[in-house]
Amino acid sequence: MTSLIVATQNSGKLTEMQYHLADLPWELQLMPADLEIEETGTTFGENAILKATQVAKHLGQWAIADDSGLEVRALDGAPGLYSARYGKTDAERIQRLLTALQGVEERQAQFVCAIALASPDGCLACQAQGICGGEILKTVQGQGGFGYDPIFFVPSVQQTFAELSSEVKRHISHRGEAFKALLPKLLAVQAEH
């Protein structure tokens, strides 16, 4: 079984990737705690590629990385790349976003996820992106999830990310869509190696 290093220290992200890649003969592992990658890209895709290629090159192993965030149309795509740094806590980030949208009726938004896979020599092997469209509610709704999930409403299922079951969320989310797009590419890469 081939090791696949997940370019994160987030065990929740590792678990989610294990779910999406369960059918592949790869053993997923978190990157070493002492390894730090600076996210200097200007897009989610650039950051995912940066993390995957640098971790792969540093460790000499296959690496996978994702970068994701929330883009709000009325805020010209903010918080975007800064979604995780939009406040110190989830509650602060949500409050800052709701304050920024006060009095704004057009509340369309989308979660974006970019994923990149790099070979042990640090070269990009494949990449994909997924998007889940929705809108930002005026108040928190639901107890599950994390981040902006309680205010991100998905019209197609008439619920927020925080109200969805884990299974439904994994299927329709931006990360789920990115993995659906990535899987055929991963299988092709795997067949070559």
Peptide bond into 79 cis (omega under 30): yes
* Separation CA 179–CA 115 (nearest Å): 8
**Locus of tokens 């220290």:** 9
* Amino acid of residue 104: V
| 90 is a catalytic site residue | no
Q: Which residues contact 171 (CB under 8 A, 6 or more apart)?
A: none
Given the residues 34, 67, 121, 149, select the one marked as catalytic. 67
Question: What is the H or E stretch that residue 163 is in?
Answer: none
Q: Where are the beta strands (DSSP E) in the chain?
A: 2-6, 26-30, 62-72, 108-118, 124-136, 152-154, 159-160
In whole angstroms, how far apart are CA 82 and each of 43, 62, 107, 118, 144?
Answer: 11, 27, 19, 24, 22
Q: Which sequence positions are flagged as catalytic?
A: 67
